[in-house]
Amino acid sequence: MRSTSLAFLLSAFLCTIGCSDDDGAGETGGAGPTGGTGGAGATSGPGSTTSGSGGAGATSGSGGDAATSTSSTTSGAGGDAATSTSSTTSGTGGSAPAARRVPAASANSLREAGEKANPPILIGAAISGGGLNDNNYKRVAAAEHNYVTAENEMKWDALEPNPGQFSWGAADNIVNWARSNNMKVKGHTLVWHSQLPGWMNSMTGAAQVEQAMRRHIENVMGHFKDRVNHWDVVNEAVLTDSDTGVGNPRMRPTVFFNALGERYLDLAFQIAREQDPTAKLYYNDYSIDARNEKADFVYEMIKGMVERGVPIDGVGLQMHIGPPNNVAGGEDVAYNLRRFADLGLEVLISEMDINRCGNVVSASDQLTYYHDIVEACFVMPECVGITFWGINDGRSWLNTWSTARCNGQSSQSLLFNDQYQKKETYNRVLDALLGR
């Protein structure tokens, strides 16, 4: 499904007449009442006023938000890929065709392809503290990416091991390394059921949980305020019977949900917005990439938040493809990205890898998925970033996670091999970023 298609040429033409000087990927905000989804459930699982969307557009200078400016093409290292000022094209609901991002003519790295696209798109990787002890890892990570998510070092257990006592060292190392390489950072993750410190198990009652949540969000966002302005505010709030997103979707019974009900999501975003009025605030989840019950449930949950005026800016589709998560093709992903963007939100691919263990995904399917899924995001100006969950196969989290069916073998899930050489998966991703 490679597509240098007529549709693309047409949209590129439309962009040349309509979207090269302005951008309009979804700003968010919003107001409005109503309730959301509900329900309680059991068990656990692994994983994760608006204004119009649409409008491809401009870029920014180095270090800026990549589409906050109205200047024309070129790169902007570390920029936010799509924060709009004025838009030219509405991507939603109207009769005008959706705008499409214009690829660079050429690029020598994924990062360069993202920076030279119009509007730019952030190219990210999950970075581990351990990885930064390896010079080859650091070299590839900085050369190919301009967006960093700490793989574990900014989770609750790492940052607040004791109530009200914060430990910043490992996270600061990653954030400072990213900034010294002109990369943006997405804080991951403020409110999540997993990797919580033990002391949280003894919390009881709504007031105590709310107080702990507020203290954590305020302290963490406050500490990183001038260095991190993208946040996964709530991660993986929805559960299904299977990790593939099928069966009985419901709110996950976490310490937060059990004490506060579904309103904990609204509250978390409101606290985050109070703490930083300009930060990008995201909801992030796994197995909402395919067309399945979980994707539908999360869509309704997010729609309710937007309608209530909850200050959410976007949704990250994690994109862990293959065991134990869902398998999704480019068209499935395009469908889900589009419907979230049509709520006036930014969208991101936030944790992409494609697991080959168990042969659920063949080698050739993996190449097709990498190309087509990246393409599905790339063509949408509202899709502001693509993050891969790691750098090289040897360090993938999948290798040692029992339900990933790797049993210690390589998941072959990423873009670089153990010697940090580019794999064919890399070439297919670069193709998609260059519109090939």
CB of 308 to ligand G3I, least distance (A): 25
Report the residue number, 208 or 402, with the smaller CB distance to ligand G3I. Answer: 402
Told to judge if 151 belongs to the known catalytic residues of this protein, a careful annotator would answer no
d(CA 388, CA 362): 19
CB of 100 to ligand G3I, least distance (A): 29
CB of 216 to ligand G3I, least distance (A): 16
Report the residue number, 335 or 401, with the smaller CB distance to ligand G3I. Answer: 401
Report the residue number, 46 or 197, with the smaller CB distance to ligand G3I. Answer: 46
Report the residue number, 147 or 430, with the smaller CB distance to ligand G3I. Answer: 147
Told to judge if 160 belongs to the known catalytic residues of this protein, a careful annotator would answer no
Task: Tell me the residue length of the chain.
Answer: 436
Q: With H, G, I as helix, E, B as strand and everything else as coil, classify residue 213.
A: helix
Report the residue number, 332 or 351, with the smaller CB distance to ligand G3I. Answer: 351
CB of 397 to ligand G3I, least distance (A): 3
CB of 44 to ligand G3I, least distance (A): 11
Q: Give which of 357, 300, 288 is closest to 48, Cα–Cα.
A: 288
Report the residue number, 351 or 372, with the smaller CB distance to ligand G3I. Answer: 351
Q: Which residues bind ligand G3I (CB under 6 A)?
A: 46-48, 151-152, 194-195, 235, 286, 318, 351, 397
CB of 367 to ligand G3I, least distance (A): 22
Q: Which residue is associated with the tokens 């097709």?
A: 368
CB of 141 to ligand G3I, least distance (A): 15
Report the residue number, 71 or 195, with the smaller CB distance to ligand G3I. Answer: 195
d(CA 254, CA 237): 8
Count Cα neighbours of 278 within 13 Å in the Cβ-side half-sphere.
10
Report the residue number, 149 or 270, with the smaller CB distance to ligand G3I. Answer: 149
Which position among 153, 210, 293, 351 bears the catalytic label? 351
Which position among 236, 262, 307, 382 bears the catalytic label? 236
Cα 311 from chain centre: 17
CB of 149 to ligand G3I, least distance (A): 8
Q: What residues act catalytically?
A: 236, 351
